[in-house]
């Protein structure tokens, strides 16, 4: 067969007789076109990704703020239930109950209803209890608290727990201000939480003065027409919105919140970071009490800088790469055309060696057929199979007569895999790789590496194999074909898949179990070790699971010094008696402080000595706190706090 008939064309469609300048020009135009397409697709993808990231940030910020609003409602409702379920609440009891509630609220207050005829007696009684003069007051035109004039009804602030350094405006009559009176009337009519219009808060630092008043009526009996007082939460919008969020110079979002019922549409809170030049915007509705607030979120300049487009870089790099590739191809084609002339001169020499190769081929065939568990297939430069050993016949169900000289290596592979590999190699190597060569071309990052493929048997069924491909060279180092070696990995894949399913199931189960699941060993050399620790163990002890598996003594370093020796002794006793281990103990954590832990485990003896426990641990701090509160209630009087008969 003449050599000209088997020469591959340049780029698959350009004749070798074509000018090298023509090849370079075609490649340059194709590269520039591809660069434009990639740049357009990248820019479109960039816009989609920016919108998705912004929506994720908006949803996360909205969820966090809605939880804060709901948390304020729950805290005020708990304070209302405290008053409803108590016959009388002293100042000390009020302070003790509201102190833990002061989270993102400037103050909590209690204001009873006082009628005109009760005012004098009420002021005298409170003055005696406080030891200082107490007068029902209101704000004058200068913003100062002065004694309130006579009215039919008053709602003065009697108790107050505040974070403000300015103190509590005790005696301040809430009915003296229209906005506060409106909130009280709506709470009275609905019997539920009510929120005031935006206002300047009293007794609050100027930086936190802009906010609202969250009010809840307190009635001693269900169905009572008039409440006997109100509990209130003084909420600064700056503190509620910004506390715990990223600082302005690091925040990706610009927030603005407006009360939808406010006719003046005054801004309750607005971030002081710069807004990016973008059309992205997210609007959400937040509810607090009986009001609905409009939350507007826009991207900040920090977000814009972190999500800049790489369109210009792609265009520049793509154009440069196309130019360099065209220059390289010009040089390669020129050299190739000169080299082909030399190849033609050596053709006669190769034909003289053909007879020698036929003899060696017979010996090689015998060796290949001896490998019955491995498929060995060789091809010429066109990809046509010229060697098909007995292992390949057994693996694929073809006979050598059906394959040799008739089929190509490409026809044995799954077509979709070849196309995907060809596209990936084209992107990696910067040039088009035909699908027929995809299984033979090695990417720069995986040279001489076995790769998994899917072959099609004679009966049409798929077969998973690993393939190692190499080139065949003659005595002079010339490329004459390819050699592919296949190993059947079907059973190996099934084993890996079974292990993966088991690992996913174990991880899913451990993730839904409260607390942490573990396997713990105590070896004869007093070596403590966690064989397995679920993600819940990290939350219990605030130690990464990888560190737990390296050294179990880290857990005992977290145990309270008064409980550590007892826990160690109980573990050793469980190992000695092979008895069920159960302990409740305290731990000192870097972040959450003192916590109560309950652990249970079942031991079993290991064949080589030592003990293996299967068990779990859980956080019972809330249960311990409830137990302590119930114990205190059972031995003390709830009103006076003095020990009762049961205690003595």
| Gap between the Cα atoms of 487 and 471, Å rounded | 18
**Chain-wide mean pLDDT for the chain?**
82
The tokens for 409 are: 């290596």
Long-range contacts of 35-43 (CB under 8 A, 24+ apart): 35/314, 35/315, 35/318, 35/319, 35/321, 35/322, 36/315, 36/318, 38/314, 38/318, 39/311, 39/314, 39/315, 39/318, 42/310, 42/311, 42/314, 43/309, 43/311
User: What would the DSSP string read from start to end of 50-86?
Assistant: HHHHHHHHHHHHHHHHHHHHHHHHHHHHHHHHHHHT-
In this predicted structure, which of 518-532, 564-578, 588-602 has the lowest mean pLDDT?
518-532
User: Residue 106 domain-assigned?
Assistant: no
Residue 582's pLDDT is what? Answer: 93
Amino acid 641: pLDDT: 62
Give the residue with greater pLDDT, 262 vs 584: 584
On the question of pLDDT at 1 being above 50, the answer is no
User: Are both 504 and 463 inside the same structural domain?
Assistant: no
CATH number for the domain harbouring residue 563: 3.30.450.20
Average pLDDT over residues 210-219: 90
Q: Which of 625, 61, 46, 587 is nearest to 311 (CA)?
A: 46
Same domain, 438 and 517: no
The confidence score (pLDDT) of residue 549 equals: 81
What pLDDT score was predicted for residue 4? Answer: 45
Compute the average pLDDT of residues 605-621.
88
Does 406 share its domain with 506? no
Taking the C-alpha atoms of residue 596 and residue 225, their distance in angstroms, rounded to an integer, is 46
Question: Is residue 7 pLDDT above 70, yes or no?
Answer: no
- 514 and 614 share a domain? yes
Residues 470 and 515 in one domain: no
Of the candidates 219, 231, 135, 144, the one whose C-alpha atom is nearest the C-alpha of residue 183 is 231
**Are the CB atoms for 168 and 236 separated by under 8 Å?**
no
Q: How confident is the model at residue 449 (pLDDT cuts 50, 70, 90)?
A: low
| 355: enclosing H helix or E strand | helix 354-370
Instruction: Identify which of 580, 541, 539 has the alpha carbon closest to the alpha carbon of residue 560.
Output: 541
Does the predicted model carry a pTM greater than 0.85?
no
Q: Are residues 433 and 480 in the same domain?
A: yes
Residues 518 and 594 in one domain: yes
Q: Is 416 part of a structural domain of the chain?
A: yes
- pLDDT, greater one: 203 or 101: 101
Supply angle C-alpha 434, 439, 442, rounded to 5.
95
Under 8 Å CB-to-CB from 281, ≥6 apart: which residues? 296, 297, 298
Residue 170 has pLDDT above 80, yes or no: yes
Q: Do the domain assignments include residue 455?
A: yes
Predicted confidence (pLDDT) per residue in 75-105, tens digit: 999 989 988 888 888 889 888 998 888 888 8
Does residue 221 belong to any structural domain of this protein? no
444's tokens: 């720069």
Same-domain check for residues 514 and 623: yes
Tokens of 158: 């009697």
In the prediction, which pLDDT does 6 show? Answer: 46
Domain boundary among 434, 458, 488: 488
Q: Domain range holding 428?
A: 358-488
Q: Is the pLDDT of residue 223 over 70?
A: no
pLDDT at 275 exceeding the cut of 70 = yes
Whether 508 and 477 map to the same domain: the answer is no
Q: At residue 455, does pLDDT exceed 70?
A: yes
Task: Tell me whether residue 57 is in a domain.
Answer: no
Counted domains in the chain: 2
Helices (H), 483-595: 490-512, 535-541, 545-550, 553-558, 561-577
pLDDT band at 5 (very low <50, low <70, confident <90, very high): very low
Distance CA 97, CA 231 (A): 13
Residue 113 has pLDDT above 70, yes or no: yes
One domain, residues 401 and 380: yes
pLDDT at position 513, please?
A: 62
Query: By the 8 A CB rule, do 388 and 403 touch?
Result: yes
The most confident of 13-22, 142-151, 430-439, by mean pLDDT = 142-151
- Residue-level pLDDT at 2: 42
Give tens-digit pLDDT for 377-425. 888 878 888 887 887 788 888 887 888 888 888 788 888 888 888 888 7
Work out the percent of the chain whose per-residue pLDDT is above 70. 87
Same domain for 559 and 473? no
411 in any annotated domain? yes
């Amino acid at each position: 067969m003449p050599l000209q008939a088997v020469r591959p064309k340049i780029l698959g469609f350009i004749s070798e007789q074509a000018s090298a300048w023509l090849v370079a020009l075609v490649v340059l135009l194709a590269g520039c076109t591809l660069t434009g397409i990639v740049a357009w697709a990248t820019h479109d993808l960039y816009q989609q990704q920016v919108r998705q990231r912004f929506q994720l940030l908006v949803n996360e910020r909205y969820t966090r703020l809605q939880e804060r609003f709901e948390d304020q409602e729950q805290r005020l409702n708990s304070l209302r239930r405290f008053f409803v379920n108590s016959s009388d609440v002293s100042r000390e009891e009020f302070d003790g109950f509201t102190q833990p509630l002061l989270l993102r609220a400037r103050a909590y207050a209690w204001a009873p209803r006082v009628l005109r005829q009760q005012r004098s007696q009420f002021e005298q009684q409170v003055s005696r209890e406080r030891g200082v003069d107490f007068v029902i007051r209101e704000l004058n035109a200068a913003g100062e608290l002065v004694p309130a004039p006579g009215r039919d009804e008053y709602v003065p602030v009697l108790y107050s727990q505040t974070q403000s350094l300015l103190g509590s405006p005790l005696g301040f009559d809430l009915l003296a201000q229209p906005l506060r009176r409106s909130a009280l009337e709506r709470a009275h009519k609905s019997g539920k939480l009510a929120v005031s219009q935006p206002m300047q808060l009293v007794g609050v630092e100027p930086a936190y003065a802009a906010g609202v008043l969250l009010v809840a009526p307190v009635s001693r009996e269900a169905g009572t027409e008039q409440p006997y007082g109100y509990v209130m939460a003084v909420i600064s919008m700056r503190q509620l919105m910004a506390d715990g969020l990223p600082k302005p110079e690091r925040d990706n979002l610009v927030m603005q919140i407006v009360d939808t019922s406010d006719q003046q549409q005054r801004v309750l809170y607005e971030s002081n970071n710069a807004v990016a030049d973008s059309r992205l915007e997210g609007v959400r509705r937040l509810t607090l009490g009986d009001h609905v607030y409009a939350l507007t979120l826009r991207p900040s300049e920090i977000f814009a800088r972190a999500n800049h487009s790489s369109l210009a870089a792609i265009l520049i790099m793509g154009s440069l790469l196309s130019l360099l590739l065209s220059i390289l191809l010009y040089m390669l084609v020129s050299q190739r055309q000169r080299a082909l002339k030399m190849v033609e001169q050596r053709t006669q020499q190769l034909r003289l060696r053909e007879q020698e190769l036929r003899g060696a081929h017979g010996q090689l065939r015998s060796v290949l057929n001896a490998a019955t568990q491995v498929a060995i297939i060789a091809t010429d430069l066109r990809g046509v199979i010229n060697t098909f050993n007995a292992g390949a016949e057994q693996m694929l169900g073809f006979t050598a007569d059906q394959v040799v000289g008739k089929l190509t290596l490409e026809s044995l592979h799954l077509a979709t895999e070849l196309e995907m590999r060809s596209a990936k190699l084209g992107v990696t190597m910067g040039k088009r790789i035909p699908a027929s060569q995809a299984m033979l071309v090695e990417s720069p990052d995986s040279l001489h590496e076995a790769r998994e493929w899917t072959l099609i048997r004679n009966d049409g069924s798929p077969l998973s194999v690993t393939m190692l491909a190499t080139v065949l060279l003659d005595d002079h180092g010339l490329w004459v074909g390819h050699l592919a070696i296949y190993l059947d990995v079907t059973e190996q894949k099934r084993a890996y898949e079974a292990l993966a399913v088991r690992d996913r199931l174990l991880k899913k189960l451990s993730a839904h179990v409260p607390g942490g699941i573990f396997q713990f060993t105590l070896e004869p050399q007093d070596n403590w070790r966690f064989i397995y620790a679920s993600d819940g163990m990290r939350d219990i002890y605030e130690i990464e699971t990888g560190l737990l598996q390296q050294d179990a003594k880290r857990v005992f370093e977290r145990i309270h010094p008064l409980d550590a020796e007892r826990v160690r002794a109980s573990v050793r006793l469980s190992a000695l008696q092979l008895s069920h281990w159960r302990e409740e103990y305290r731990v000192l954590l870097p972040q959450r402080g003192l916590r109560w832990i309950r652990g249970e485990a079942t031991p079993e003896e290991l064949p080589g000595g030592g003990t293996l426990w299967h068990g779990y641990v859980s956080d019972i701090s809330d249960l311990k706190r409830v137990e302590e509160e119930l114990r205190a209630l059972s031995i003390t009087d709830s009103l006076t706090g003095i020990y009762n008969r049961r205690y003595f």
